[in-house]
Amino acid sequence: MNTNQVLKNYGLSDEETRLYLAGLKLGEAPLARIAKDAGIKRSSAYLIAKNLSEKGLMGNFKLPDGMRFVASPPSLLAEQAKKKLSEINEIIPELKAIQKKSQFNPKVTVYEGKEGYIAIANESLKKPGSIVRSIGSLQKIYEIVGQEYDHDHYMPERIKNNIRIKALYFKKEITEFFPSTIFTSEKNNQELREIKFLPENYADSTHILIYQNTVAIFTSKKELMAVKIESEEIANSEKNKFDLIWSLLK
């Protein structure tokens, strides 16, 4: 285990970590000596030592020949962590109440770039046994995230979590850009997928995912933007619209 990284995760900066470790190594010592061992400029060491002191991790005392600094024992780190955990556990019920209350307020998040598209798609995989509704241009989405993401990550995770997908695509797009072996009835059954085709005169370049209490709208590569709406009311409305279209199509 990387000691420096653990201390950084604890909340110490890189320089605070180095000064604290040097202090442990040297014991009671002038700050200039501790700073030198830590590879830190003397001019910066006093501020860093002050920060450690405020965190309870370094103390100092005065001798006739000058100030001495000493790092607090490592056991104090565990004691402080336990105290923080105890305090967090005490307010968990309050935090859950706030979260529950906030879920009734629609939340809109805008993402830019490929990473945002993938983040939203991954989020749709979090509820095993659910249904993801997908409508729009599959080709335009693949131009951004790539077929490899779907075939190597999204689809295997979806199948593993027993998440079915109901998709409304454009037949011309499917037949022109994808091999005929991808969307056969047998493959669709194996991959927990149902597909129906939208009229070609409604073809566009956007794509929509409806899952859980979320509606996500993806633009094409031209605008490269995704909008995620988290709202139970809006999601239910869009699910109903999707299901209506689904029922009307052959």
More confident residue, 87 or 130: 130
Fold of 3-74: Arc Repressor Mutant, subunit A (1.10.10)
Residue 165 and residue 193 in contact, taking contact as beta carbons nearer than 8 Å: yes
Q: Quick one: pLDDT at residue 93?
A: 85
Q: Which of 91-95, 123-127, 163-167, 178-182 has the lowest mean pLDDT?
A: 178-182
- Helix or strand (DSSP H, E) at 5: helix 3-10
Q: Name the band, by pLDDT with cuts 50, 70 and 90, for residue 107.
A: confident
Computed over every residue of the chain, the mean pLDDT equals 89
Q: Quick one: pLDDT at residue 43?
A: 85
One-letter amino acid at 77 equals L
Q: What Rg do the C-alpha atoms of the chain give, in angstroms? A: 28
Q: Quick one: pLDDT at residue 30?
A: 92
Q: How far does Cα 236 stand from its chain's mean position?
A: 25
Superfamily of domain 107-248 in CATH is Endonuclease Chain A (3.30.870.10)
- pLDDT higher than 80, residue 98: no
Q: Quick one: pLDDT at residue 119?
A: 92
Q: State phi, psi for 237 to the nearest 5 degrees.
A: -65, -45
pTM score:
0.57
The pLDDT tens digits for 191-240 are 999 999 999 888 888 999 999 999 999 998 888 899 999 999 999 999 99
Nearest to 127 by CA among 165, 93, 101: 165
To the nearest whole percent, how much of the chain has pLDDT over 90? 46
pLDDT mean over 102-106: 62
- pLDDT higher than 80, residue 250: no
Both tokens assigned to 137: 């241009």
Q: How far apart are CA 195 and CA 188, in angstroms?
A: 8
pLDDT mean over 8-30: 89
Q: Which of 12-16, 24-28, 146-150, 178-182 has the lowest mean pLDDT?
A: 178-182
Give me the residue spans of the domains in the chain: 3-74, 107-248
Q: Quick one: pLDDT at residue 105?
A: 66
pLDDT mean over 153-177: 91
